[in-house]
Structure 1
Amino acid sequence: MKTRFCRTVLGDVPISRMGLTYAHEHIVIDDCYVTAKHPEFLLNDAEKISTELTDFYELGGRTVVDTMPANSGRNVLLSARVSRSSKVNIIVPTGIHLEMYYPQNHWRYTLSEDRLTRLFIADIEEGIDRFDYSGPVVQRTEHRAGLIKLATGNEAFTPHQELIFRAVVNAHLETGAPILTHTNFGKQALEQALLFERLGAKLDHVVLSHVDRAKDVGYNRAVLETGVRLEYDSTFRWALKGEENHTLTLLEHLLPAFPDQITMGMDMAKNAYWKSYGGAPGLGYLIETLPTFLKSKGMEAYFENIFYKNPAHLYAFAPPTKG
């Protein structure tokens, strides 16, 4: 039987070596269309990134899942460099981000479902383009994608977004690569889960991000009942706002019923959140604070589920089922 593995930027790693894993991060965001408008998203200083990751490693962190897909700030060579220098495993994605990350004439709007499927599969099986599909030539590197991302906004899915769903699921089924999604404050999360179910995705290898921002326990429960995985990342955001920590409330109510389906991360897309950029709270926040909360509720055992068992299962490649 083949050893189950995740695919990191430096190669395949047995899931037994993933260790403590943050399930949704932004480690590298290079100069791109969106950073020209939002420079607070720029994360491309190799020394600062390596410093933050090294601090994470010293706290016990071993793997992070980066979430910038094709041509939206991805720089696979920089990702490989900071992974080597920090010793932290980095899983990088293929796929397509929200529309705001691309100009209106971008190739994402003209490629067919099959062409997008083949592009995602090439990133996973052959290697990511060193230019990230921003130029007239493609030079594939040795660094391969370990998951597929898509994103939806506040409104009902558009035909274009549904095409991306189909291409993502096609690539997922053909390669076994896991799927990660962006939701806007948890909106359309249930609709995402139901569409993945209709398309035949392996729901235990699908994770919907930011659903804790929806706040509502009943809504989160309904999404979990479909069988998908959820990723929560707003623990520090509620603390900064000085309001009820809705993420912790969700954990208290839902972890006992869904211990195998919840993962966590920091989603630090703004450089102001990074200690190495002079900001706060820094990547180590969850490691430093969550055990205290779990202990206060008699839920210490769930730390291993959130950061070890669940991401190891979720981000492992599943056996391909089509192609």
Structure 2
Amino acid sequence: MSFFRTVLGDLPISQMGLTYSHEHIVIEDSYVTAGHPEFLLNDSSLISQELHSFYLAGGRTVVDTMPANCGRNALKLAEVSRNSKVQIIVPTGIHLEKYYPRNHWRYTYSEDELSRLFIADIEKGIDQFDYSGPFIKRTKHKAGLIKLATGDDPINKHQEKIFNAVVNAHLATGAPILTHTNFGRQALEQALLFKKLGANLEHVVLSHIDRAKEVDYNRAVLDIGVKVEYDSAFRWKKDGPNYTLNLLLELLPEYPEQITMGMDMAKNAYWKSYGGTPGLNFLIDTIPAFLKEHDLEKFYDYIFFKNPKKLYSFEV
């Protein structure tokens, strides 16, 4: 039976419902927010308020994307999930280098040690202190996917170590993989490396690829067999082209089973509950009308229901 793993436990994929595939629900006061205070998202009341609005609009599941020792707080994620009724998939893994201090353990741990850490998050439970201190106190809240990230430059040896550790954990546990790309850069290289390492590409999604803009580049990534996640529909300037919507028009008919969407609202200024805009419901409020206008309504179910169910499931 296929299931997906939420912060509050495992559920059959039939209960996943409408799913946003890349979000930032909690970003705790951390090294990340010290350098990027606009990323601070740790007010449980405000977060619960926004999530509950999403639930009332029909949303059921969100994928949080802050991995190990990077502002992750499993206890707070569980709290806002209970408060809002929204199911939250929580990651393990490692983010971009810039979100960690230069002497971080990510650089000294071996591939095998990183693999075992990721597997422990998935099978035993996430550390209450998120690996920020000398003691580990595992919670009952388990990770439901594994994240990695690359930047603007070609994939380096350190990042290759992370790739190997992530794929090891993926193959050992069946957990899906989600990645960060900078404006889609290195996306094709990511996809090819996952294929080389033997990952199950049906359970691998590369994020932010719409920021690359070019249809042919997105097509080349999709041809490898991975899924892609688009989250910039609200970011493009109103007086210019909306590259995210352009990509949907061009690629949904060709790759209906490989495209997902999210909001990636890492900045608190994007949250209505924090006094910002456009808010988490933006996609629910806009994408159905856009698809209907272009006679693409049938793809709504693929983007928000069918594709996330396949992507984020554990196969047992």
TM (normalized to structure 2)?
Answer: 0.99
What corresponds to 2:20 in structure 1? Answer: 22
SS in 1 for 2:284: helix
2:106 aligned residue (108, 117, 121): 108
SS in 1 for 2:313: coil
What corresponds to 2:75 in structure 1? Answer: 77
Between the aligned partners of 1:241 and 1:289, the Cα distance in structure 2 is: 14
What corresponds to 2:132 in structure 1? Answer: 134
- How far did residue 305 of structure 1 move? 0.3
1:280 aligned residue (277, 281, 290): 277
SS in 1 for 2:229: strand
Map Cα deviations across residues 267-295 of structure 1 (whole Å, 9 max, x no partner).
Answer: 00000000000000000000000011101
- How far did residue 81 of structure 1 move? 0.1
Matched, 1:293 2:272: no
What corresponds to 2:94 in structure 1? Answer: 96
What corresponds to 1:205 in structure 2? Answer: 203
Map Cα deviations across residues 149-173 of structure 1 (whole Å, 9 max, x no partner).
Answer: 0000011111000000000000000
Between the aligned partners of 2:221 and 2:314, the Cα distance in structure 1 is: 23
What is the count of residue pairs matched by the alignment?
Answer: 316
Between the aligned partners of 2:66 and 2:55, the Cα distance in structure 1 is: 21
What corresponds to 1:264 in structure 2? Answer: 261
What corresponds to 2:243 in structure 1? Answer: 246
SS in 2 for 1:136: coil
What corresponds to 1:8 in structure 2? Answer: 6
- How far did residue 318 of structure 1 move? 2.7
What corresponds to 1:57 in structure 2? Answer: 55
> Is the contact made by 1:193 and 1:223 (CA closer than 8 Å) also made in structure 2?
yes
Between the aligned partners of 1:241 and 1:95, the Cα distance in structure 2 is: 35
- How far did residue 242 of structure 1 move? 3.3
Between the aligned partners of 1:39 and 1:112, the Cα distance in structure 2 is: 31
Between the aligned partners of 1:183 and 1:242, the Cα distance in structure 2 is: 26
Between the aligned partners of 1:65 and 1:262, the Cα distance in structure 2 is: 15
What corresponds to 1:235 in structure 2? Answer: 233
Percent of pairs with identical residues: 72
> Is the contact made by 1:178 and 1:318 (CA closer than 8 Å) also made in structure 2?
no
Q: Give every structure 1 segment of 4 or more consecutive aligned residues whose post-TM-superposition deviation is greater than 4 Å.
A: none
What corresponds to 1:154 in structure 2? Answer: 152
Between the aligned partners of 2:67 and 2:223, the Cα distance in structure 1 is: 28
SS in 1 for 2:235: helix
Between the aligned partners of 2:190 and 2:256, the Cα distance in structure 1 is: 21
Between the aligned partners of 1:136 and 1:252, the Cα distance in structure 2 is: 51
What corresponds to 2:64 in structure 1? Answer: 66
SS in 2 for 1:104: coil
Between the aligned partners of 1:15 and 1:36, the Cα distance in structure 2 is: 37
- How far did residue 243 of structure 1 move? 1.8
Map Cα deviations across residues 67-126 of structure 1 (whole Å, 9 max, x no partner).
Answer: 000000000000000000000000000000000110000000000000000000000000
SS in 2 for 1:235: coil
Between the aligned partners of 1:26 and 1:243, the Cα distance in structure 2 is: 27
SS in 2 for 1:148: strand
Q: Which runs of 5+ in 1 are unaligned?
A: none
> Is the contact made by 1:28 and 1:78 (CA closer than 8 Å) also made in structure 2?
yes
TM (normalized to structure 1)?
Answer: 0.97
1:169 aligned residue (162, 167, 170): 167
RMSD (Å), alpha carbons: 0.6
